[in-house]
Amino acid sequence: EVKLVESGGGLVEPGGSLRLSCAASGFIFTDAWMSWVRQAPGKGLEWVGRIKMKTDGGTADHAAPVKGRFSISRDDSKNMVYLQMNSLKIEDTSVYYCTTVTWAGTVDYWGQGILVTVSS
Amino acid sequence: QSVLTQPPSVSAAPGQKVTISCSGTSSNIGNHYVSWYQQFPGTAPKLLIYENNKRPSGIPDRFSGSKSGTSATLGITGLQTGDEADYYCGAWDTSLSPGVFGGGTKLTVL
pLDDT tens per residue across span B83-104: 999 999 999 998 877 899 999 9
Q: Please write the tens of the pLDDT for every residue from A90-114.
A: 999 999 999 999 999 999 999 999 9
| Nearest chain B residue to A114, by CA | B44
Residue B2 near chain A (CB below 8 Å):
yes
How many angstroms separate the Cα of A39 from the Cα of each of A57, A92, B63? 28, 9, 24
A108, B50: Cβ pair inside 8 Å?
yes
Q: What is the mean pLDDT of chain B?
A: 95
* A39 to chain B: closest CA residue: B44
Closest CA to A86 of A34, A24, A15, A27: A15
Rounded to an integer, the average pLDDT of A23-46 is 97
- A90-95 long-range CB contacts below 8 Å, 24 or more apart? A90/A14, A90/A118, A90/A119, A91/A40, A91/A65, A91/A118, A92/A38, A92/A66, A92/A116, A92/A118, A93/A40, A93/A41, A93/A117, A93/A118, A93/A119, A94/A38, A94/A39, A94/A40, A94/A41, A94/A43, A94/A46, A95/A38, A95/A39, A95/A41
Of B35, B92, B98, the CB nearest to A49: B98
Q: Which of B2, B35, B50 is facing A44, going by the closest CB pair? A: B2
Which residues in chain B have Cβ-Cβ distances shorter than 8 Å to A63?
A: 96-98
Q: What is d(CA A26, CA A119) in angstroms, rounded to the nearest whole number?
A: 36
Nearest CB partner across the interface for B35, out of A49, A97, A107: A107
Distance CA A31, CA A56 (A): 9
Q: What is the mean pLDDT of residues A73-96?
A: 98
CA distance A63 to chain B (A): 6
Does position B32 have pLDDT exceeding 80, yes or no?
yes
CA distance A61 to chain B (A): 6
- Asked whether residue B1 carries a pLDDT value surpassing 80, the answer given is no
* Nearest-angstrom CA–CA distance, A16 and A14: 5
A26-41 average pLDDT score: 97
Q: Do A104 and B51 touch (CB under 8 A)?
A: yes
